A and B are shown apart, each in its own frame.
Chain A
């Protein structure tokens, strides 16, 4: 079974804090993704990575950066958290086409 884990289910941070969201997959997948999900807007792609140290911008990269130093781990970084980044963050991984998702991190920025 594919397993994708995320470091926290719930997180509360203050405006201006630097926030790290971690995602780990155990299936040696090349591709990893970060999405955010908001009511009425659905799931939107923030960043993705095809390989270690590779990254590509998704549809809404502003205010975010990513890091992939090891194949199994993909980190999403909010350099200076803002209230409009309050959202559900979902990580996914894939080898070819089929994507598998982690349980999500519900982030609240106050």
Chain B
């Protein structure tokens, strides 16, 4: 099946700093989503982005499908950004089945 790798596994930032999270995947994809899992375990949709670039406030994401990677940018980080960020992909042969990466754990400190 498709492989999804995220880096870095852990990240500690001071409030106000910027960061880039990376997601590499091993095959063509129909669907790529970024999620934020908050400390209570809820997975919150950030972006649906199988290709191209999207922005939502301080967050933006870019997926280069031909090179099989996606980037999540967090600017001016806040303590509420802490949690685990997951990339999940659905490959072209498995309708609706998402494969998740192992996540990037982000801690934003004061």
Q: Which of A90-110 contact B (CB under 8 A)?
A: 90, 92, 94, 97-101, 103-104, 106
Proximity string of chain B (83-110) to chain A, C-beta cutoff 8 Å, 1 when within and 0 when not: 0001010100000111011110000000
Instruction: Point out the residues of chain A lying under 8 angstroms from B97, CB to CB.
Output: 45, 48, 58
Contact, CB under 8 Å: A88 / B41: yes
Instruction: Point out the residues of chain B lying under 8 angstroms from A40, CB to CB.
Output: 102
Instruction: Determine the distance from Cα of A31 to Cα of B31 in the docked complex, in whole angstroms.
Output: 15
Instruction: Determine the distance from Cα of A97 to Cα of B89 in the docked complex, in whole angstroms.
Output: 10
Interface size grouping (class) on chain B: 20 to 34
Contact, CB under 8 Å: B98 / A101: no
Q: How near does chain B come to A39, taking the closest CB pair, in angstroms?
A: 10
Contact, CB under 8 Å: A98 / B41: no
Contact, CB under 8 Å: A103 / B40: yes
Tell which of B41, B50, B96, B103 touches A103, judged by Cβ atoms closer than 8 Å: B41
Q: A43 interface residue, CB < 8 Å from B?
A: yes
Contact, CB under 8 Å: B103 / A42: yes
